[in-house]
Structure 1
Amino acid sequence: MGVHSGQTAATQALSSAPYRDSAVAGLLAANPEAGVKPPRLSLFEPNLGEAFARAVQVRMLGGAHSETVQSFGMDPQTVVEHCLAANRIRQQRDIRLTAVMAVFGLLFLPGVLVWLAAFQLRRTLGKSSSAWAGTLGTLVLVVVAGLAVLLAWRPPLGGFWGLYVRVVLLFPIGGWYLAKRICERTAVDLRGRWGSLLGGPGPGAKIPEAVPRNPNDKRAEELRKSLVVLAAEQNSNVVFYAGPKGILGMGSRWGIWQLAEELLPADGKDFHQFRSWDVIRAIHDRLRELERGPLHTGGFPKPSIRHWIVAPVGEGAKAISRPTGETVDGFTVKDFEVQRICNEQQFGSGNRHYLGVQFVLWDGQLVITMMITVTVLHRTLRVEVTGHALGPVDGMFMSKPAPNTREVSKSVKFWETRTVHMPLVNSGEVVRLAARAPFTWFPPVLDFLGGKLTLPEPFGLRHTWAAKPWQHRFMADDALRTATPVLRAVHAATIGLLKENGVDTTRFEGRSLVLGGAVQDAKPGKADVYDA
C-alpha cells in the first residue's frame, strides 16, 4: 500500500514543512498533542521548519530508533529526505554565519553582547500583551544605537582602548549586514523549494551524505541503513488498534456491519468442513473484481488488497512494538503465520487477522480502508466489515509562501493605504539566525537554550497531521459510497463459498439483504466509542 502515480499531494505538503520559516505554533494548531519545550532564551527559539526538520530526523533516523506507524497514501522516506536536505542547506548557511560571528563576535565581544541583549529584550517585550511593549522594545534598540554614536564621537578612554571603544558597537553592525546577505540568499532558496513542492512535482531532495564515500564512512552507512529500515517499516503488514483512535495510520472506525448466523447443513446432512482462511480467500478473490463494473462509466480505481495483522494497544499508548521471531521477516509477518492467526486466533488474547481493501484518493489526501475479519465461534460464522477513513493533511501544510508585505498609509492621502514590500529577512531574524549558528554544531546545547518540538507518540508522519475527512463534502461522499459495493462483494463471496460447502444460506441471505438496505443510509459515527 505505497504511493502510486499521482498520489503525491500529501507527500509534497509534508515535504514542504522543513523549508518553512513561519512560527512553530502552526504545528501545535495542527495537532495539540504535539508539544514544544519552551526556550530559555527566545533569541535561540527555532522556527517551524527548523523544529520540524530536526524533530523528524531525530525521531525517524535517530540512533535509539523507535518504531513508527505506517503512512498510507504517501512516502515518508521522501519527507525524511527533505528534512535532511533542509538541514543541510541551513548547515551550509550556518558555516558562513559562524565565520562572521567568529570575526565580529570574538573581536568585538562586548559590543555584540550588548546588541544581543537588546534584541533579546525586544523579543521578550514583543510577546507581551501590552500596547506599549513593542514601542518599548524598539526604544531599547534606539538607545543602544544612540550609545554607539556617543561612544564613537566621544570615547571615555584614550589610546588603543579609546579607538576600540569607538568601534565596539559599530563593527557588529557591519557583521549584521554580512549576515543579512547570507540569510537572504538561503531564505530565497528555502522558500523556492517550499513553493515548488506545493506548486508541482517539486525539486528532489539532495542528500549526498547518505552515499558512503569510502568503506570507512560509518556515518553515511548508518544513515543509509536507517532509510532502509524506514522503508521496511512502511511495508510492514502489522498495524495497531488504539481504541477510540482506531487503527493508527488508517483512521478511526466510522462504521461497522456484521453478518453473523448459525451454520446449518442445507440437506439435513453435515456440510463440508472449511476454515476461516477459506472464506477470507474467497472474499479476497471477489474484492479484486471491484474495479470492474457492468457499465462503461467511472468507478473504483484499482484498490490495494492486503492481509493485515492487527495488534491491540491502549488509547494512551506512547509506543508500539512489532512482532519478532522466526515467523517475522524484517517487519512483515510471514504468510503461513498470517494464515494460522486467521484460523486460530479469534478469541482471547493475541493479534487478529483482517483483510483490508484500501483506496487512496484525492492525490493521497484521502485514505479509505475497509477491513474484513471472519470468525467462527461454536456454530456461528461472523463476517464483519468495518470502515476507516483518514482525512487530508492539515491545511497549514498546504499554504504557499506569501511575500512579506505591509499596509501603510499614504503620505498625502493619509486616509488611503498602499502595500509596501518588506525585506524577506528582517533585522531580528538575522540576529536570531546569527546567534543560533555557532550552537548548531552542538544540538543538545541549542535545544537547551532554544527549546525543541516534541512529536506525539505513537508517531507516524501521515496520521499525526491528518484532519477529519467529514468536513470535506466530496471526501465524505467517497468514504460513505465505498461501503455498499464492498459490503455486497464480501457477502456475495461468503454466501457463494457456503453454498459450495453445503451450508444452508437462507438466514445468511436474509441478513445480507437487511445489511444491504441499512448500508445505503450509512452515516459516519464513532464506532469505537461505546456508551457503557
Structure 2
Amino acid sequence: MTDGFDFSPGAQVPLTGIDGETAATQALASAAYRDSPVTVLVDINAGTKITPPRLSLFRPNLGEAFARAVQVRMLGAGRKELVQSFGIEPQTVVEHCLAANRLRQERDTRLTGLMGVFGLLFLPGVLVWLGAFQLRTSLASLRQRGNRAGALGTIVLAVAIGFTVLLAVRPPFSGFWREYTRVVMIAPVIGWYWAKRICERSAKDLRDRWDGLVAGSGVGAKIPEAVPRNPNQVKAETLRQSLAKLAAEQNSNVVFYAGPRGILGMGSRWGSWHMAEELVPREGLAEIHPFRSWDVIRAIHDKLRMLERGPLHTGGFPKASIRHWVVVPVGENAGKIVRPTGADVEAFSVKDFEIQRICNNQQFGKGNRHYLGIQFVLWDGNLVLTLMVTVTVLAHTLRVEVTGHALGPVDGLFTTAPEPSEKTVAKPVKFWETKTVSQPIITANEVVRLAARAPLTWFPPVLDHLGGSVKLPEPFGLRHTWAGKPWKHRFMADDALRAATPVLRAVHAAAIQVMDENGVDTSHFTNRSMVLSGLVQGVEPKKADVYDA
C-alpha cells in the first residue's frame, strides 16, 4: 500500500484519546441514528450542500444522510485529506456511522423481501399507493412553504381508500382478473402492516442508541465487517485499512492555517502576544554564546510540561497535550488541503529531524513553519484550547510569539435527545383535565418512505439521484465543521482567558533562561515580559486575524 503508512497486521495501539473527549464524540456519533430532517445540517454550517430530491418519497433523513456522507467522505476509495478532529475521537464517530448503516441495511433487507413479494405480485396496486403517498408528500411540502395544501393531501389519501373499496366491491373484470382486482389494492395494505412492524422495531433500536449516546451511556459500535476472517475477504481488509489510515491521519503533526479562519481544527486566533528584543552580550562579555531557535523551543517544551504542578493544592491545569506542529498555509476559501509527502514524512507525520530543521531555518520567506503547541481538551471535549508558540531569529532580533486558538462546543443539535412518542390531550369528559397518550414511533408516511427506499439501497448512486444527497463542507473535519463559538458560554470563555497568562509566563521564563545561560543581556526581554504579563491579564477575545488597516 502507499500513503506512507504500514497497514500490515499487528497490535492496534490507539493513536488518539485525550482524557475528556467522550461527550463531544458521542454527541456527533448520535447523528448517525437520528431521524430528524436532513435540512438542519445547512442551518448549522452553510457550507453543507444538499441536493434536493427528484422524488420526495425517496428523500433521506438526517441519520441516513449523515452516516452515508461521513462514511463516503472519510473511508471512500477516492477520499481527500481530512482535517484533524481535536477534542473528539473521529474513528469512534465513523464506527457508529458504519454500525447505523448496517442496522438500516438489515432492516432494508427485510423490507426488500416484502417489496419483492407485494411489489411484483401486486404491482399495479403498489404503484397506485406509492403515487398517492408521493402526491400527499408533495402537497405537504407546499403547505410548509405557506400554501394551503394540507386538506388536499387528506383528500388524495381518501380517494385512494375509496378506490380500493370500489375495486373490492365491484371489480370491472371477470374470472381470474376479477379476483385479482379485488385484492390488488388490499394486498399492499397487508404488506404495509408487516413493513410497519419491521420499521417500528428498527426505529426503536436506533432511537435507543441515539438516546444512550446523548445521555453518555451508549454502547460501543459493533462493526464485524471490519474484521477480515480470511485472506479472501477483500472488502473487510479494505475497510480495516481505511480505519487505520483514518487513525494515522488524525495523529498527524501537520496542521493548516486558513487565514481569518485560523488553524483548521483548532479554531480562529483570538489573541496574540509577542516579545521581540535585540540580542546583545551581557556586560563584561565580548559576544554571546551561539544557540539556535530549537534550543529555546526545547526549553519552552520542558517548562510547559511543568504547568500542571503548582504550589497550592487547588486543582489547576489538567494534563495537557504538548506537541511540535508543522503549520502549512492555505487560502481562506481553499476547497481542499494537501499534506506534505516525501522521505521526511512517515504515516502523515513529519519526522523529528525535519521539524528541527524547519524550526531553525524556515523563519522567513516561503515554506512551512514550526510551532510548539500546548492543547487543553476541556468540558468533555466541547472546548479545545490551543496556545501556539513560535521562536524566530532575524538579524540580531529574537522574537517569541504566543497565539491563542479556541474551538467551541459542538452544535446543540447533536446534544438533543429524542422526543418521547407521546402527547398531552384533554380528557373527553373532564375536558379541564389532561392525559398523556402514546403515539406510534413511526408514521404511515415514514413506513412508505422506508419501504420505497429499501430496494434502492442496494444501488446507492440511483438512490442518491432520486432522493438527493449531502455534500459535506470542505476542507472537512468532523470537529471543526460543527463547532460553535466558546465566547457565548461564560465559563468556557473564562477558561480560555485564564489559560493564556500562565502559559505566556512559562514561555517567557524558559526563553529568558536560555538567553541568560548563553550570555545575553536579558534586561530588555525581562521588561518586555513584565509588560506583556500585565497586558494579558486584561485581554479580551477578538478576531486577531482580521486586520482593520
Matches within 5 A, 1:271-290: 271-290=288-307
Letter in 2 for 1:476: A
Out of 168, 174, 179, the position equivalent to 1:163 is 179
The residue that corresponds to 2:518 in the other structure is 501
For 1:5 and 1:492, how far apart are their aligned partners in 2? 28
CA positional deviation for 1:32: 1.6
The residue that corresponds to 1:385 in the other structure is 402
User: Do 2:19 and 2:377's aligned partners in 1 also have CA atoms closer than 8 Å?
Assistant: no
Gaps in structure 1 of 5+ consecutive residues:
none
1:47 aligns with 2:64: no
User: Do 1:243 and 1:314's aligned partners in 2 also have CA atoms closer than 8 Å?
Assistant: yes
Matches within 5 A, 1:36-435: 36-128=50-142, 129-130=145-146, 132-267=148-283, 269-412=286-429, 418-435=435-452
CA positional deviation for 1:201: 3.7
Out of 493, 500, 518, the position equivalent to 1:476 is 493
**3-state DSSP class of the match of 1:309?**
strand
CA positional deviation for 1:131: 5.7
Gaps in structure 2 of 5+ consecutive residues:
1-14
CA distances 1:137-159 after superposition (whole Å, capped 9, x unpaired): 01100110011001100111111
For 1:415 and 1:380, how far apart are their aligned partners in 2? 81
**3-state DSSP class of the match of 2:131?**
helix
CA distances 1:201-260 after superposition (whole Å, capped 9, x unpaired): 411111111111211111001000000100000000000000111000000000000101
CA positional deviation for 1:406: 3.5
**3-state DSSP class of the match of 2:544?**
coil
CA distances 1:276-302 after superposition (whole Å, capped 9, x unpaired): 101101111110110001111110011
Letter in 1 for 2:454: A
CA distances 1:169-223 after superposition (whole Å, capped 9, x unpaired): 1110000000000000111111111111122241111111111121111100100
The residue that corresponds to 1:32 in the other structure is 46
For 1:308 and 1:314, how far apart are their aligned partners in 2? 19
**3-state DSSP class of the match of 1:382?**
strand
**3-state DSSP class of the match of 1:338?**
helix
CA positional deviation for 1:421: 2.2
For 1:404 and 1:43, how far apart are their aligned partners in 2? 23
**3-state DSSP class of the match of 1:16?**
helix
For 2:345 and 2:376, how far apart are their aligned partners in 1? 26
**3-state DSSP class of the match of 1:78?**
helix
CA distances 1:356-386 after superposition (whole Å, capped 9, x unpaired): 0001111111110000000111111110000
For 2:166 and 2:425, how far apart are their aligned partners in 1? 32
For 2:162 and 2:436, how far apart are their aligned partners in 1? 31
**3-state DSSP class of the match of 1:247?**
coil
For 2:298 and 2:385, how far apart are their aligned partners in 1? 21
For 1:473 and 1:444, how far apart are their aligned partners in 2? 46
CA positional deviation for 1:4: 2.8
User: Do 2:265 and 2:480's aligned partners in 1 also have CA atoms closer than 8 Å?
Assistant: yes
User: Do 2:85 and 2:478's aligned partners in 1 also have CA atoms closer than 8 Å?
Assistant: yes
For 2:217 and 2:479, how far apart are their aligned partners in 1? 19
CA distances 1:312-342 after superposition (whole Å, capped 9, x unpaired): 0001001111110000111000000000000
**3-state DSSP class of the match of 2:270?**
strand
Calculate the TM-score normalised by the size of structure 2. 0.95
Out of 511, 517, 522, the position equivalent to 2:534 is 517
The residue that corresponds to 2:6 in the other structure is none
RMSD over aligned Cα atoms: 1.2
User: Do 1:258 and 1:382's aligned partners in 2 also have CA atoms closer than 8 Å?
Assistant: yes
The residue that corresponds to 2:34 in the other structure is 20
For 1:255 and 1:277, how far apart are their aligned partners in 2? 24
User: Do 1:2 and 1:73's aligned partners in 2 also have CA atoms closer than 8 Å?
Assistant: no
For 1:7 and 1:144, how far apart are their aligned partners in 2? 52
For 1:115 and 1:54, how far apart are their aligned partners in 2? 28
CA positional deviation for 1:407: 4.4
Letter in 2 for 1:394: D
CA positional deviation for 1:410: 4.0
CA positional deviation for 1:420: 3.1
For 1:204 and 1:7, how far apart are their aligned partners in 2? 15
| More displaced 10-residue stretch of structure 1: 286-295 or 24-33 | 24-33
Letter in 1 for 2:173: L
CA distances 1:69-96 after superposition (whole Å, capped 9, x unpaired): 1011111000000000000000000000
Calculate the TM-score normalised by the size of structure 1. 0.98
For 1:180 and 1:253, how far apart are their aligned partners in 2? 51
CA positional deviation for 1:13: 0.5
The residue that corresponds to 2:467 in the other structure is 450
Letter in 1 for 2:111: L
For 1:369 and 1:149, how far apart are their aligned partners in 2? 68
CA positional deviation for 1:417: 5.2
User: Do 1:2 and 1:72's aligned partners in 2 also have CA atoms closer than 8 Å?
Assistant: no
CA 487–143 in structure 1, closer or farther in 2 if over 3 Å, else same: same
For 1:114 and 1:420, how far apart are their aligned partners in 2? 33
CA positional deviation for 1:414: 5.2
User: Do 2:23 and 2:216's aligned partners in 1 also have CA atoms closer than 8 Å?
Assistant: no
For 2:313 and 2:457, how far apart are their aligned partners in 1? 60
CA 130–365 in structure 1, closer or farther in 2 if over 3 Å, else same: closer
